[in-house]
């Protein structure tokens, strides 16, 4: 992917090298859009969670750290990766800001929190083991950059556009939170008939489709390089519920899916990429479960 080296975003909060946890933290993680691969989280689809944001140790990349948590040096080798995720995060948000403005709507910007090992959020405790996640209560995306190492080595999905797909998926969850039912083109009665698992799958596949819409925009702006789309599709396939279940237990149980099969994830990313429009992402009306 073509991107601006050395890019820094004012919407990125860097907790790396700090304690990451605030005193008085309570509760398990309840968030949206995680389990890009490792062990999973509790997903509460379509709900907003009340709670206090625990921001001890936050440092805006473009700002000055005014807090005094215990910190240790972060590897300089991650500098380019931080720049890359900053660029992708801002680029995805600019796309949705533009699209919503064209419809006379206002886009509220999210924040991206970089952490190591563990951190706190308004949705509860998060660790590197759960993978990237979005917390609707504080409108923040959380990621331990070490996840990308696992994505490449453990799940066989390397490449910068695989990394970009992860960020774009989580920004898609933020957009879902802002638009609510406008992105859920299905009547309330049908939603109530869906099981929580089915609802979760449709919610996650929609975020995959929205990531595809963003990818379409990068193509139209000549930011894509050879092999980029294949990298994103490889990541989508690698983290399908069926593939992960088969790897962990040797069996597949569709009734326990939370994010969709590899085939479904690839399909919905492709659909968003081909259409380049939000209205192509109505998984709630078009996913037979």
Q: What share of the chain is helix, strand, coil (3-state, %, to 5)?
A: 45, 10, 45
What is the residue extent of each domain of the chain?
A: 12-286
**Gap between the Cα atoms of 182 and 288, Å rounded:** 20
Contact 215, 269 (CB under 8 A): yes
Query: Strand 12-14 and strand 140-143: pairing?
Result: unpaired
Q: Quote the tokens at residue 43.
A: 């997903």
Q: What is the pTM of this model?
A: 0.82
The string of pLDDT tens digits covering residues 105-120 is: 999 999 999 999 999 9
**Gap between the Cα atoms of 237 and 239, Å rounded:** 6
Q: Quote the tokens at residue 25.
A: 């933290």
Q: What is the pLDDT of residue 194?
A: 59
Q: Which residues contact 228 (CB under 8 A, 6 or more apart)?
A: 1, 159, 160, 161, 215, 218
pLDDT at 44 over 70: no
The string of pLDDT tens digits covering residues 46-103 is: 333 322 222 233 444 443 333 434 455 566 678 899 999 999 999 999 999 999 999 9
Which range is least confidently modeled, 19-28, 53-62, 127-136? 53-62
Which range is least confidently modeled, 25-34, 45-54, 102-111, 201-210? 45-54
Read off the pLDDT of each residue in 173-198 and give the average, rounded to a whole number: 71
């Amino acid at each position: 992917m073509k991107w601006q080296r050395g890019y820094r975003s004012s919407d990125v909060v860097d907790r790396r090298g700090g304690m990451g946890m605030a005193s008085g933290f309570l509760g398990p993680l309840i968030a949206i859009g995680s389990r890009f691969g490792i062990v999973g989280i509790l997903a509460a689809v379509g709900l907003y969670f009340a709670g206090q944001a625990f921001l001890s140790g936050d440092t805006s990349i473009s700002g000055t750290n005014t807090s005094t948590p215990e910190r240790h040096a972060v590897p300089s080798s991650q500098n380019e990766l931080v720049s890359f995720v900053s660029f992708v995060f801002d680029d995805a948000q600019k796309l949705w800001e533009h699209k919503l403005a064209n419809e006379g709507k206002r886009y509220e910007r999210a924040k991206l929190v970089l952490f190591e090992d563990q951190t706190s959020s308004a949705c509860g405790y998060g660790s590197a083991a759960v993978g990237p996640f979005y917390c609707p209560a504080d409108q923040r995306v959380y990621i331990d950059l070490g996840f990308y190492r696992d994505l490449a080595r453990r799940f066989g999905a390397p490449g910068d556009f695989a990394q970009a797909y992860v960020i774009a998926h989580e920004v898609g969850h933020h957009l879902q939170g802002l638009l609510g039912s406008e992105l859920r083109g299905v009547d309330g009665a049908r939603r109530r008939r869906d099981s929580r698992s089915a609802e979760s799958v449709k919610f996650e596949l929609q975020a995959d489709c929205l990531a595809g819409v963003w990818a379409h925009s990068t193509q139209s702006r000549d930011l894509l390089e050879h092999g980029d789309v294949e990298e994103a599709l490889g990541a989508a396939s690698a983290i399908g519920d069926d593939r992960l279940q088969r790897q962990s237990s040797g069996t597949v149980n569709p009734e326990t899916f939370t994010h969709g099969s590899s085939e479904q994830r690839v399909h919905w990313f492709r659909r968003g990429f081909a259409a380049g429009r939000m209205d192509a992402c109505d998984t709630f009306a078009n996913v037979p479960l």
